[in-house]
Amino acid sequence: MALPTITASINFSDGPGFGPNFTIGDPIYGQLGGVGLLAASTAPALVLDVSNMIQKIDIKRGRNINQDLYESGTAIIRLLDPTAIFNPQNVSSEIYGYLQPLRKVRITATTTSNYNIYSGYTTDYKYTYSNGEDVAYVDIYCSDAFRLFNMSNITTITTGTAGQATGTRIGKILDMVSWPTNMRTIATGATTCQASSVDTAVRTVLSACRNCEQSEFGAFYMDANGVAIFKSRSQVLSAAGATPTVFAQDGAGIAYSSIVFAFDDRQVVNNVSATRTGGTAQTASDADSITKYFTHSLSYTNLIAETDTDTLNIARAYVGSRKDTTIRIDSITLDLNTPSYTTGISAALTLDYFSEVTITNTQPAGSTITQTLQVQGIAHSITPSTWFTTLTTEEPIIDGFIIGSSLYGILGTSILSY
């Protein structure tokens, strides 16, 4: 199967704020498959299609397991610029006067359907002129909306009343920076929040949302469409019961080109202290894990959770889910250039955070490892003739009991032994 067709476009028409994904009749947002493109004869070309200039694209989105949070998704687009379109001093360029940082960018892959694989904002335009060459390479660095959230400060959330669910509170925070309602998918959440008036400190929008995320034991991130996603802890848990996509190198599943194993203590947590604003420290620990691995501590302070019971449950959930370690499959890499790789291409373009995957690998010595994990990171490395997708995989963020699940629905297993 042929590689997907890549389209990359940059919207120079206005500032950093995605409007509607699709608006009928709109010349910019009224075309299927992305932000839309103005006609080539339109001057200035406010939305520039740079697809035929692409030399390489690197995209990286994922969860930082050491910091236990989702990071900003990034992209680097390398373009060959023979007509100096991206030279800000070139008065003949169709984007002269419009070339600015923090312009909207979208990267789309097309097979039989269109898949947005990255949505974000330009941050840097870096030029490289090789010795003796007149043609420049331009590396366009991009970041998703977490960068915007991290640049915006807030204090008291005026509509942040006591008893609000964590998802409602995140919605109120996003309202303060006018983040479009059609560019967010926010779960209600199970934990309730204190009144925002208890926290008058200046903090970023991102840190305020992450406080709700930690108070919920949920997940807050940007997806490949540029939509802000908040999952409650029940959604994070229920994701572990989904039907997995199967990968194997022996023909029993989608083939992969490489695999990375790890056996370490990086994800062990056996002692947690959690404190809400105005509350007392709530601690949980596991003596057996401490004896086996020594103390691995986490501390969360100034959580917005409404009660000490909620913060204690957060501490217990961390310890219960992270007190043990085992051999881990950190990532697999898919080579989309593999002949007849239809299912592999589909997996590379459709799997996202919390997608369940079952990975089997047979070692040279004859031993076999099979693990069911969740995708928690996606990276694409793309050139005109190659495409590699790396899926970072992890154990579920939180363990629990799921009726009917062969992995999470059996009492007395290692997952449910705490």
Which residue blocks in 221-324 are alpha helix, DSSP H? Answer: 233-238, 287-293, 308-322
**What is residue 403's predicted lDDT score, i.e. its pLDDT?**
38
- Tell me how far apart the alpha carbons of residues 170 and 223 are, in angstroms, rounded to a whole number: 16
**What is residue 133's predicted lDDT score, i.e. its pLDDT?**
67
**Cα dihedral across residues 29, 30, 33, 37: positive or negative:** negative
- Tell me how far apart the alpha carbons of residues 176 and 154 are, in angstroms, rounded to a whole number: 8
Domain boundaries, the chain: 5-144, 149-231, 239-262+326-416, 271-322
Containing 173, the helix (H) or strand (E) segment is helix 166-176
**What is residue 75's predicted lDDT score, i.e. its pLDDT?**
98
Are 147 and 155 spatial neighbours (Cβ–Cβ below 8 Å)? no
**What is residue 245's predicted lDDT score, i.e. its pLDDT?**
96
Averages of pLDDT over each 10 residues, the chain, 418 residues: 92 68 40 36 66 97 88 97 91 91 95 94 90 82 96 90 96 93 94 88 93 94 96 83 87 93 90 95 96 94 94 91 90 95 96 95 84 95 97 81 38 37
Are 14 and 83 spatial neighbours (Cβ–Cβ below 8 Å)? no
Prior bond of 44 cis (ω within 30°): yes
CATH, domain 239-262+326-416, list 3.40.50.300, 3.40.605.10, 2.40.30.150, 1.10.3720.10: 2.40.30.150
- Tell me how far apart the alpha carbons of residues 227 and 184 are, in angstroms, rounded to a whole number: 5
CA 395 to chain centre: 16
**What is residue 17's predicted lDDT score, i.e. its pLDDT?**
60
Are 405 and 240 spatial neighbours (Cβ–Cβ below 8 Å)? yes
